[in-house]
Amino acid sequence: MKIKTKTIRFYQDKDLDSLLQSTDLQEKDILGMKAVAKVLPFRTNNYVVEELIDWKNIPDDPIFRLTFPHPEMLPTQERDRLMDLLSNNAPKAEIKAVANEIRRGLNPHPAGQKQYNVPTFNDEPVPGIQHKYDQTVLIFPTAGQTCYAYCTFCFRWPQFVGLDDLRFATRESGIFQDYLQHHQGITDVLLTGGDPMTMKTRQLALYIEPLLTPEFDHIQTIRIGTKSIAYWPYRYVTDDDADDLLRLFEKVVQQGKHLAIMAHYEHWQELDTPVAEEAIRRIRSTGAQIRTQAPVLRHINDSAETWAKMWNMQVHAGCIPYYMFVERQTGAKEYFRIPLVKAWEIYQQAIQQVSGLGRTARGPVMSALPGKVVIDGVAEIAGEKVFVLSFLQAREPDWCKRPFFARFDPDATWLNDLKPAFGEDKFFYESQLEEILTRKALKV
Ligand X SMILES: *Cc1c(COP(=O)(O)O)cnc(C)c1O
> Can you give the binding site for ligand SF4, defined by CB under 6 A?
147, 150-151, 154, 156, 193-195, 227, 264
Q: Which does 267 bind (CB under 5 to 8 A by kind): ligand SF4, ligand X, none?
A: none
Nearer to ligand SF4, 36 or 219 (CB): 36
Of 200, 167, 180, the residue nearest 138 (C-alpha): 180
Count Cα atoms within 13 angstroms, Cβ side, for 114.
12
Q: Which does 136 bind (CB under 5 to 8 A by kind): ligand X, ligand SF4, none?
A: ligand X
CA 340 to chain centre: 18
Q: Cα separation of 277 and 264, whole Å?
A: 15
What is the smallest separation between the CB atom of 289 and ligand X, expressed in angstroms?
13
Nearer to ligand SF4, 52 or 85 (CB): 52
Q: Which does 6 bind (CB under 5 to 8 A by kind): ligand X, ligand SF4, none?
A: none
What is the smallest separation between the CB atom of 227 and ligand SF4, expressed in angstroms?
3
What is the smallest separation between the CB atom of 158 and ligand SF4, expressed in angstroms?
11
What is the smallest separation between the CB atom of 290 and ligand X, expressed in angstroms?
14
**DSSP conformation class of 198:** G
261 contacts 314 by C-beta, under 8 angstroms? no
Q: Cα separation of 110 and 73, whole Å?
A: 18
What is the smallest separation between the CB atom of 196 and ligand SF4, expressed in angstroms?
10
**DSSP conformation class of 405:** E
Nearer to ligand X, 159 or 393 (CB): 393
Q: Which does 143 bind (CB under 5 to 8 A by kind): ligand SF4, ligand X, none?
A: none
Cα 218-395-428 angle, rounded to 5 deg:
145
Q: Which does 393 bind (CB under 5 to 8 A by kind): ligand X, ligand SF4, none?
A: ligand X
Q: Which does 132 bind (CB under 5 to 8 A by kind): ligand SF4, ligand X, none?
A: ligand X
Nearer to ligand SF4, 45 or 314 (CB): 45
What is the smallest separation between the CB atom of 194 and ligand SF4, expressed in angstroms?
5
CA distance readout (Å), 131 to 144, 176, 184, 191: 19, 11, 13, 12
What is the smallest separation between the CB atom of 437 and ligand X, expressed in angstroms?
15
Nearer to ligand SF4, 108 or 193 (CB): 193
First CA to last CA distance, the chain: 53
Nearer to ligand X, 68 or 155 (CB): 155
Cα 287-212-367 angle, rounded to 5 deg:
70
DSSP string, 89-119: T--HHHHHHHHHHHHHTT-SSGGGHHHHH--
